[in-house]
Amino acid sequence: METSEFFADIRTSLQGILHFPGADTLITLILLLAIAICAVAGYYIALLVLKGVAKAVEWTDTDWDDDLINEKFRSALSQLSPALIVAWLMPKCFVTHNILSGTIHILSSFYIIGAMIFAANTLVDNLLEAFGKREKLQPFAIKGIFQMVKLIFIGIGIIIALSLLIGRSPIAILTALGASAAILMLVFKDTILGLVAGVQLTANDMVHKGDWIMVPKHDANGEVTDISLTTVKIRNWDNSVTTVPPYSLVSESFQNFQTMRDLNARRVMRAFYIDANSVRFITPDEVTSLRNANLLPPVQTPQKIVNLRLLRDYLEHWLSQQDYVRTDLTYMVRQLAPTPSGLPVEIYFYANETQWKPFEHIQSDVFDHVYAVVPLFGLSIFQTPAGTDLMKALP
């Protein structure tokens, strides 16, 4: 005998025994309690079965199945058992009550749909967490894609639930939604653009979680902490957080410094300004003095040489001797076009330190040395006269 027929026989037997007013309500409550007990028992039985499956999964070599079939997913999947039991037994027990039976059928169907969506979305969440545990997969901007998959599952569930509620085919509902596609596009514009942008960011390897990026239009300069379907969160260096739509990174320009980090080479490109009036030929005595002070590069110095050229040669050689300079990359000291503020001499090299504080210390040490040696070559740093300088110049 089927379980549903057994419950129907119990109802008939109770109706034959109980004849007092309100007996039908009492019978209904008894049957509901029995079905509830069966549903709870089915839930725990399903948990035990799935726990056995989990034990078998632990013996496999791969870790993916351990991450996917975890306790959270087993609990979500177990919810299907009481849903199926309720949907199976309820209509049989209340077959004589057409309205009640129809309502119970719809509600139990909603329960099954909700349990299936919950289990499917839990599996998607587990898959996203599994990706996050793999170091090679962590940088990829896939969170938005997983969020979109969850929205699709929820959308399918809503369409099926509506079809049961109004008694129409899901195809008819999809057709009606297709007719209002323009409205849906407007409502879900950010979601759709975010999904497309997330795919583009991942496919083109443009940005990853943990990258240091700068988005001038949004005043963002810091590290990417999260990439979702509709937002990219950037923790700025002042510890504030800027939220940028993903499609902004696709449609607008931004600067990604991650390659610099990976290469462990951060560029220094900064100029100091020489007073053009101090540029001249250096005397033999000065050459001897510089050589004695170990301020000449180990090359043949001609008899007649400009002091600025000698300074550039010295600084370039000095940079090559510093441990923090990447000599395998371009480094040089060059002269730029003259300006009203003096003659710019630019120092260009890559430091082997990318963190902000150590990098700034390196840059400062280099220019401390520059400002200290410039006078030794008979040169002067250009500096706009201050008010006190002008006062001293007055008779």
Alpha helices in the chain (DSSP H): 3-17, 23-58, 64-68, 71-78, 80-93, 98-133, 143-166, 170-179, 181-187, 189-203, 246-251, 258-263, 284-292, 307-320, 356-373, 387-393
- As a whole number, mean pLDDT of residues 100-119 equals 78
Q: In this predicted structure, which of 158-167, 179-188, 244-253, 262-271 has the lowest mean pLDDT?
A: 179-188
Which pTM was predicted? 0.55
- As a whole number, mean pLDDT of residues 182-192 equals 66
Band (117; pLDDT cuts 50, 70, 90): confident
Nearest C-alpha neighbor of 323 from the set 282, 358, 368: 358
pLDDT score for 1: 44
Q: Of 352 and 55, which is predicted with more confidence?
A: 352
In CATH terms, 200-260 corresponds, of 2.30.30.60, 2.30.38.10, 3.30.365.10, 3.40.50.1950, to 2.30.30.60
- As a whole number, mean pLDDT of residues 36-42 equals 82
Query: Is pLDDT at 231 greater than 70 in this prediction?
Result: yes
DSSP at 342? B
pLDDT tens, 136-146?
A: 666 666 666 77
pLDDT tens, 341-386?
A: 899 999 999 999 988 899 999 999 999 999 999 999 999 999 877 6
Query: Is pLDDT at 2 greater than 60 in this prediction?
Result: no
Structure tokens at 338: 């003259």
pLDDT score for 330: 93
Query: Is pLDDT at 255 greater than 50 in this prediction?
Result: yes
pLDDT score for 320: 93
Cα 30 from chain centre: 53
pLDDT score for 311: 93
Contact 252, 236 (CB under 8 A): no
| Ranges 43-47, 99-103, 174-178, most confident | 43-47
- As a whole number, mean pLDDT of residues 24-46 equals 76
Query: Is pLDDT at 76 greater than 90 in this prediction?
Result: no
Average pLDDT, the chain: 79
Backbone torsions φ then ψ of 298, nearest 5 degrees: -75, 55
In CATH terms, 264-377 corresponds, of 3.30.70, 2.40.50, 1.10.10, 1.20.1300, to 3.30.70
pLDDT score for 144: 67
Q: In this predicted structure, which of 146-150, 319-323, 386-390 has the lowest mean pLDDT?
A: 386-390
- As a whole number, mean pLDDT of residues 275-279 equals 93
pLDDT score for 97: 59
pLDDT score for 270: 95
Band (50; pLDDT cuts 50, 70, 90): confident
For the chain, give every residue range classified as CATH 3.30.70: 264-377
Read off the amino acid at residue 304.
K
Query: Is pLDDT at 176 greater than 70 in this prediction?
Result: no
For the chain, give every residue range classified as CATH 2.30.30.60: 200-260
Q: In this predicted structure, which of 64-78, 81-95, 261-275, 284-298 has the lowest mean pLDDT?
A: 81-95
Nearest C-alpha neighbor of 104 from the set 119, 88, 81: 88
Query: Is pLDDT at 7 greater than 60 in this prediction?
Result: no
Query: Is pLDDT at 201 greater than 90 in this prediction?
Result: no
